[in-house]
Structure 1
Amino acid sequence: MEKPLKKKQRNVVFILTDDHRYDYMGFTGKVPWLKTPNMDKLAREGAYLPNAFVTTSLCSPSRASILTGQFSHMHTIVDNQAPDPGNLTYFPQYLQKAGYQTGFFGKWHMGDHGDEPQPGFTHWESFPGQGVYYNPTLNINGERVAYKDSTYITDLLTEHAVDWLDKRDKSKPFFLYLSHKAVHAGFKPARRHKGMYKGKKISLPATYDQTKTGAYKDLKWPQWVADQRISWHGVDYMYHSNRDLHELVVDYCETLLGVDDSIGTVMEYLKKEGLDESTLVIYMGDNGFSWGEHGLIDKRHFYEESVKVPLLVRCPELFEGGKTPQQMVQNIDIGPTVLAEAGVKQPENMPGVSFIPILTGDGQAPARKEVFYEYYWEYDFPMTPTVFGMRTDQYKYIKYQGIWDRNELYDLRNDPDEMYNLIADPDKQEIAKSMSSAIYDWLERTNGMNIPLKRTVKYRFGDYKHKNEH
């Protein structure tokens, strides 16, 4: 463990949601009828970082990257089944050693993990895997407690988190990790929100129909994208059902309202206790979500709506509100940011950086010139190939492995909808070549040239067993 630096130990609240795409908040105007007053207030009084990305757009790898500050190929939790290798250090462990009270509430889901307490947390409340929206069972510090009477998971976790804050040792700094199940698929809103947006519709994205009409061939999209339209993650057979896309979006947005209420409850408590000016509050999604772009739903791919996540940050003691910095940040920056504000030296195996200098206007702060992405093919979801990618302020290069198909190159400034693949454009060959080379440089530099396979045994479709379980 690293020795603490001499600096004020700031209280931190980190709120994480599941599958919340970056622009589905009221203040962005993306969905005119969606109202998220507490997210709006957080952005107004703090900052909204519209160019926040995950390193892997999938639950377990992203959550592991947040907790370890490492890329998927470094921590090796490359999918939702790969087990924790047992040698990882989570950044809350450094906080604990520095004297912090640390509380975890909600969805852990790193690999095929259960609900047992994990290192780094003085207080623990979780559930296995994805959990359930209603009547959950929580593992509270090793003891399982079942809840009935239509108990709603988002409200329950929020209530317990605030109760923990209220009963904390006020002589010590705190780190709260509130990790919601919402808004993961199987969307179920709180009863008070059910039907609030009934009949509402979104504007379909510009790329919604291209795979259906065959225009994707002229646009030079990969064949796998067109093929996925009628799969589990395609708009014509969403989750193997015939539900209307707009109805699913309504369920998603109504479920999101519970998360917005949760933010309001936490902020209200901080204000009541006089902690709202000095506490660093971070709200983030674990990955994005597509709603019809390229004929797809869900995540995993490297298109903007899948890889971008909401990132709201507030701390009036550090910076003035109303900021919308355009610099690119990633989920691997969460650990370094929190450690820096806790006065704890960042470990060398964390490649991310604190994004607080971006918010305080530090002109000397290093600006990230690119973000890298990786996703590894999954047995249960074979529709999406292994993906490696790189994005700069202008271009995005997507490289596929294990599939006979074309790669992709987009000019994001002139084509923000990623409609026109320039991979075969004669004028763009040097750009494609340099970005492809940069991806290999990144993988070599971070020991990612070998895919970290894990020993999992497949007995039947959807049923994994780990080596130590049989």
Structure 2
Amino acid sequence: MFYKVCFFCIAATAGIVVLSGFHQPQSRPAANSPKNVIFILADDHRYDAMGFTGKFSGLKTPNLDRMAATGAHVQNAFVSTALCSPSRASILSGQYAHTHQVVDNFAPLPPATKFFPSYLQKAGYKTAFLGKWHMGNADDAPQPGFDYWLSFKGQGVYYSPIFNINGKQVTHKDGYTTDLLTDYAIEWMGKQDKNKPFFLYLSHKAVHADFQPAKRHAGVYKDMPIQYPASMYLTKSDTSKIWGKNTKDPETGEVKSNLRDMPNWVKNQRYSWHGVDYLYHGSISFNDFYRQYCETLLGVDESVGRVMKYLEDNGLAENTLVIYMGDNGFSFGERGLIDKRHAYEESMRVPMLVSCPSVIKPQTKLTNVIQNIDVAPTILAYAGLSTPAQMQGKSFLPLLKGQKTEWKDRAFYEYYWEYDFPQTPTMFAVRTDRYKYIFNHGVWDANELYDLQADPDEINNLIRSPQHQTIAKELRDQVWGWLENTNGLQIPLKRIKQKRNDHIYKGNY
């Protein structure tokens, strides 16, 4: 077994590592070749932090860019809870958090819960999980549904990790976790029978705080210009003409911010652990935080490139469904916040790229609303399996194929108050292509309504706008209707015995 990184076509130019794109397979496989599936999950990767979006000036992600160009870019992908464990459980179960009950990073997984890899395994797939499990507890023990298991405790570390490999603790005295996980993944694929299907779940620790790039990427973006969001600098003077017949300034056409109706819990976080003025209790500056995130993301992009190149070099690319996504997004100063958890776009919206040349045309841009609960049904559908009755998501494979099918036009969201981060309340939300309604539960505070077309930055809260009362009521009713129809009206509280761990102070979760 090897553990050294074998990079391909690396060229250093002006201090930036650039990988050449993966190439097309030289020959098309037989029509009856196995339908393999690879699911690659990144941690805290926000939807627009990819080179081709242009959002982060100077950010290079050539392999993610290539994946979007040769396959599908799901432009409206959302998680139903923007937090590690609940989102991961939703991906695997096809259920909302109030159904699978993993409502935070410590809630135990109910014993009867069944994840989609078990269905693949029963159907004859060889299955493997490699990386961050982090669900319900900090254990790294092998889980049902996987023939091969490689994980680590809790959040893990970026350097010199200890892996649980099929029940055995294996220490790596050196090596970068992103690279090591990719090494193991490629090695495992190389041992599979090419006449039988496999499912590989590659779950990266990156790009979770505290951000630590690979040594080859450290300092690459030290001079990167930073795109500070406009809402990072809202002041008390931004309250004039906040709503009325016109939500835009009559002279400039700009949307006015509504600081008066910005929830107090948002205002109060600015100088806190999850705020830009005292982020992580002042342990790092915002500029370094921003740039190290981008540098750490480079390792994930290279990992994607290596996996795709392996498929192409071995004639597996054509019929292998590859899905890349983030478990949740991340704020970089919007409304003075960092982190995730909340229902704003940069938190609940995630990147999603899908490749499978046999069914997806190049440069497919999917604008339908897709959520993390839809991943499991989609993978099962590609494998020829039906969606289990308990799953609340739906396969979007027909959409990837360009077929017409009845589909939802809104995303629902839930987040439950956490003992360790009491500054963020329980909230429920619904997002349509035009509006977002957020109900902040259990606090004496403002609820929120945003017109995403006129106000994509979500700074002009229309909750008290006279002309928006009808839509606000309709969306509020939809939120409660969704919860009622999915048996989510009772908050699933969990009694968890916790030790006072470092994560409370260091932000590891």
Contact 1:138 1:146 in 2 (8 A): yes
SS of residue in 2 equivalent to 1:228:
coil
1:275 corresponds in structure 2 to 316
What is the distance in 2 between the residues matched to 1:274 and 1:361?
25
Please tell me the root mean square deviation across aligned C-alpha atoms, in Å: 1.6
Distance 1:403 1:114, change over 3 A: same
Per-residue deviation at 1:243?
A: 2.7
What is the distance in 1 between the residues matched to 2:302 and 2:503?
36
SS of residue in 1 equivalent to 2:335:
helix
Which of 223, 226, 229 is 1:199 aligned to? 223
What is the distance in 1 between the residues matched to 2:288 and 2:396?
37
**1:54 matched to 2:79:** yes
Which of 86, 89, 99 is 2:124 aligned to? 99
**1:338 matched to 2:379:** yes
Contact 1:211 1:229 in 2 (8 A): no
Q: Which runs of 5+ in 2 are unaligned?
A: 1-31, 240-256, 505-509
Per-residue deviation at 1:368?
A: 1.4
What is the distance in 1 between the residues matched to 2:425 and 2:104?
13
What is the distance in 1 between the residues matched to 2:62 and 2:392?
35
State the one-letter code of the partner of 1:232: W
Which of 184, 190, 196 is 2:214 aligned to? 190
What is the distance in 1 between the residues matched to 2:335 and 2:206?
24
Per-residue deviation at 1:461?
A: 6.9
SS of residue in 1 equivalent to 2:446:
coil
Which of 301, 304, 311 is 1:263 aligned to? 304
What is the distance in 1 between the residues matched to 2:501 and 2:85?
20
What is the distance in 2 between the residues matched to 1:341 and 1:362?
14
State the one-letter code of the partner of 1:22: Y
Contact 1:125 1:141 in 2 (8 A): yes
What is the distance in 1 between the residues matched to 2:482 and 2:128?
34
What is the distance in 1 between the residues matched to 2:275 and 2:259?
20
Contact 1:12 1:175 in 2 (8 A): yes
**1:446 matched to 2:471:** no
**1:113 matched to 2:138:** yes
**1:430 matched to 2:454:** no
**1:398 matched to 2:423:** no
What is the distance in 2 between the residues matched to 1:274 and 1:447?
46
Contact 1:20 1:183 in 2 (8 A): yes
**1:221 matched to 2:262:** yes
Per-residue deviation at 1:244?
A: 2.3
**1:30 matched to 2:71:** no
Contact 1:83 1:113 in 2 (8 A): no
What is the distance in 2 between the residues matched to 1:96 and 1:166?
19
Contact 1:219 1:419 in 2 (8 A): no
Q: TM-score, normalised to structure 1's length?
A: 0.94
Which of 286, 291, 295 is 1:254 aligned to? 295
Q: Which runs of 5+ in 1 are unaligned?
A: 1-6, 465-470
What is the distance in 1 between the residues matched to 2:324 and 2:260?
36
Contact 1:219 1:420 in 2 (8 A): no
State the one-letter code of the partner of 1:359: L
Per-residue deviation at 1:375?
A: 0.2
Instruction: Kindly tell me the number of residue pairs found equivalent between the two proteins.
Output: 456
Per-residue deviation at 1:170?
A: 2.4
What is the distance in 2 between the residues matched to 1:248 and 1:201?
13
2:252 corresponds in structure 1 to none
What is the distance in 1 between the residues matched to 2:33 and 2:483?
36
1:209 corresponds in structure 2 to 233
What is the distance in 2 between the residues matched to 1:271 and 1:410?
44
What is the distance in 1 between the residues matched to 2:211 and 2:259?
36
Contact 1:183 1:255 in 2 (8 A): yes
Distance 1:218 1:127, change over 3 A: closer
SS of residue in 2 equivalent to 1:328:
strand
Contact 1:200 1:246 in 2 (8 A): no
Distance 1:398 1:167, change over 3 A: same
Per-residue deviation at 1:110?
A: 0.5
Per-residue deviation at 1:300?
A: 0.3
What is the distance in 2 between the residues matched to 1:179 and 1:264?
15
State the one-letter code of the partner of 2:410: E
What is the distance in 2 between the residues matched to 1:24 and 1:458?
34
Contact 2:380 2:387 in 1 (8 A): yes
Per-residue deviation at 1:325?
A: 1.7
Contact 1:211 1:295 in 2 (8 A): no
Distance 1:161 1:218, change over 3 A: closer
Contact 1:211 1:225 in 2 (8 A): no
Q: Which runs of 4+ in 1 moved over 3 A?
A: 211-219, 458-464
1:415 corresponds in structure 2 to 455
1:374 corresponds in structure 2 to 414
**1:289 matched to 2:319:** no
Per-residue deviation at 1:209?
A: 1.1
What is the distance in 1 between the residues matched to 2:121 and 2:278?
46
What is the distance in 2 between the residues matched to 1:39 and 1:213?
41
Per-residue deviation at 1:458?
A: 4.6
1:468 corresponds in structure 2 to none
**1:160 matched to 2:184:** yes
**1:302 matched to 2:326:** no
1:4 corresponds in structure 2 to none
What is the distance in 1 between the residues matched to 2:298 and 2:499?
39
Contact 1:9 1:341 in 2 (8 A): no
- The percent identity for this pair of structures is 58
SS of residue in 2 equivalent to 1:409:
strand
Contact 2:57 2:227 in 1 (8 A): no
What is the distance in 2 between the residues matched to 1:93 and 1:66?
14
Distance 1:167 1:459, change over 3 A: closer
Contact 1:18 1:285 in 2 (8 A): yes
Per-residue deviation at 1:349?
A: 1.1
What is the distance in 1 between the residues matched to 2:311 and 2:394?
27
SS of residue in 1 equivalent to 2:420:
coil
What is the distance in 2 between the residues matched to 1:85 and 1:27?
40
Which of 180, 198, 216 is 1:174 aligned to? 198
State the one-letter code of the partner of 2:189: L
Q: Deviations over 1:357-387 (max 9, x none)?
A: 2222112x12211110000000100110001
SS of residue in 1 equivalent to 2:449:
strand
State the one-letter code of the partner of 2:116: F
Contact 2:341 2:415 in 1 (8 A): yes
What is the distance in 2 between the residues matched to 1:418 and 1:263?
32
What is the distance in 2 between the residues matched to 1:211 and 1:60?
35
Per-residue deviation at 1:169?
A: 2.4
Q: TM-score, normalised to structure 2's length?
A: 0.87
Contact 2:33 2:319 in 1 (8 A): no
Per-residue deviation at 1:307?
A: 0.5
